[in-house]
């Protein structure tokens, strides 16, 4: 049973309802496949229904993003297409009843895991990518201000450092003679990846240590973000020109917004939990 938990809600009712419905459909399909000996007769139908509903949902989501002029629309369309391609290429292994069952279950698990990652890594940002140009001049979006503080020294230091790497990358992208900076930018993106993983490991270890109830949800969110980082399309960046510069601006906007959103929406709660329960972490 894959639960559609609160952390998967992006706060836009139409989209949340559709995500929930997808989860329900998958859970029903898994339960049905489990009860049936001959899944061959039901597999095609199940997958077709899921695929159809996912397509309807993607169309709604893309229309919504278009309406609000969301800068991530293009990359979302790409992700949705990749999903459709994978599901379209599914073929049930019919060599035996056992094999059919396994192959149906595999694709259902693939779909649910894709959904978790996609919702937590991408959909969660719909409507949240702030347009920094509207912010006051003296408001530096890269500044690690008090509002981000969990009051857990290790976590705050690591978050501050993540902001610093993103800010450094951003500065570099703004500089002229960008093509000279390719190696440096790559290096910083790499550093960001590595340091993000270190940070998530540390944060998860801490949550484990204090038996934090939100650990599972945090792990899923972290995995979704790492997945996005890993899939930064380096090939798209083999030469840095104006087009790549625009791509990098959007990337920075996404990275900063995801992190800021995650710290404010999830990580701060770790600090609250520690204070409410008088836990000593030293």
Q: By CB under 5 A, which span of 71-79, 92-100, 172-180, 238-246 interacts with Fe ion?
A: 71-79
Distances (CA, A) of 145 to 83, 165, 203, 236: 38, 15, 19, 33
- The b-or-e profile of 221-241 (16+ CB within 10 A means b, else e) is bbbbbbbbbeebeeeebeebe
278 vs 218: CA distance, rounded Å = 21
147: its two tokens: 């509002």
77 vs 84: CA distance, rounded Å = 11
Per-residue contact flags (x/-) with Fe ion for residues 177 to 216, judged by CB under 5 A: --------------------------x-------------
Q: Which is nearer to Fe ion, 141 or 265 (CB)?
A: 265
Task: Find the shortest distance in angstroms from Cβ 237 to Fe ion.
Answer: 23
Q: By CB under 5 A, which span of 35-43, 81-89, 117-125, 205-213 interacts with Fe ion?
A: 117-125
User: Is 70 near Fe ion (CB under 5 A)?
Assistant: no
Segment 5 to 64, residues that bind Fe ion, using CB under 5 A: 61
Give the number of residues in contact with Fe ion, rule: CB under 5 A. Answer: 6
Q: Which is nearer to Fe ion, 101 or 220 (CB)?
A: 220
Task: Find the shortest distance in angstroms from Cβ 268 to Fe ion.
Answer: 10
Task: Find the shortest distance in angstroms from Cβ 83 to Fe ion.
Answer: 9
Task: Find the shortest distance in angstroms from Cβ 123 to Fe ion.
Answer: 5
**Integer Rg of the chain from CA:** 21
189 vs 252: CA distance, rounded Å = 10
Interacting residue with Fe ion among 123, 129, 247, 252 (CB under 5 A): 123
215 vs 232: CA distance, rounded Å = 26
201: its two tokens: 């490991």
Q: Which is nearer to Fe ion, 42 or 206 (CB)?
A: 206
Task: Find the shortest distance in angstroms from Cβ 58 to Fe ion.
Answer: 6
Task: Quote the DSSP letter at residue 131.
Answer: -
User: Is 267 near Fe ion (CB under 5 A)?
Assistant: yes
Say if residues 1 and 27 touch (Cβ distance below 8 Å). Answer: yes
Closest residue to Fe ion: CB criterion: 267
31 vs 35: CA distance, rounded Å = 6
Task: Find the shortest distance in angstroms from Cβ 262 to Fe ion.
Answer: 6
Task: Find the shortest distance in angstroms from Cβ 84 to Fe ion.
Answer: 12
Q: Which is nearer to Fe ion, 70 or 267 (CB)?
A: 267
Say if residues 214 and 266 touch (Cβ distance below 8 Å). Answer: yes
Binding region for Fe ion (CB under 5 A): 61, 76, 123, 203, 218, 267
């Amino acid at each position: 049973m894959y639960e559609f938990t609160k952390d998967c809600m992006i706060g836009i009712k139409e989209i949340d309802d559709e995500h929930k419905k997808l989860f329900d459909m998958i859970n029903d399909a898994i339960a049905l496949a489990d009860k049936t000996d001959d899944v061959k007769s039901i597999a095609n139908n199940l997958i077709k229904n899921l695929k159809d509903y996912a397509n309807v949902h993607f169309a709604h989501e893309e229309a919504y993003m278009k309406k609000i002029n969301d800068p991530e629309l293009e990359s979302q369309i790409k992700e949705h297409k990749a999903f459709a391609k994978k599901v379209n290429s599914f073929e049930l292994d019919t060599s035996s009843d056992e094999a059919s069952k396994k192959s149906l279950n595999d694709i259902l698990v693939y779909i649910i895991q894709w959904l978790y990652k996609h919702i937590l890594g991408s959909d969660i940002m719909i409507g949240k990518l702030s347009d920094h140009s509207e912010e006051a001049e003296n408001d530096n979006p890269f500044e690690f201000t008090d509002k981000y503080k969990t009051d857990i020294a290790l976590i705050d230091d690591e978050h501050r450092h993540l902001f610093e790497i993103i800010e450094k990358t951003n500065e570099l992208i703004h500089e002229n003679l960008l093509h000279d900076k390719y190696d440096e930018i790559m290096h910083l993106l790499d550093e960001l990846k590595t340091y993000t993983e270190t940070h998530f490991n540390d944060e998860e270890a801490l949550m484990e240590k204090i038996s934090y109830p939100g650990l599972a949800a945090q792990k899923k969110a972290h995995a979704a973000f790492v997945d996005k980082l890993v899939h930064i399309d380096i090939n798209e960046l083999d030469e840095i020109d104006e087009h790549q510069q625009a791509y990098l601006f959007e990337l920075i906007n996404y990275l900063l917004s995801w992190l800021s959103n995650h710290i404010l929406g999830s990580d701060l709660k770790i600090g609250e939990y520690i204070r409410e329960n008088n836990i000593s972490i030293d």
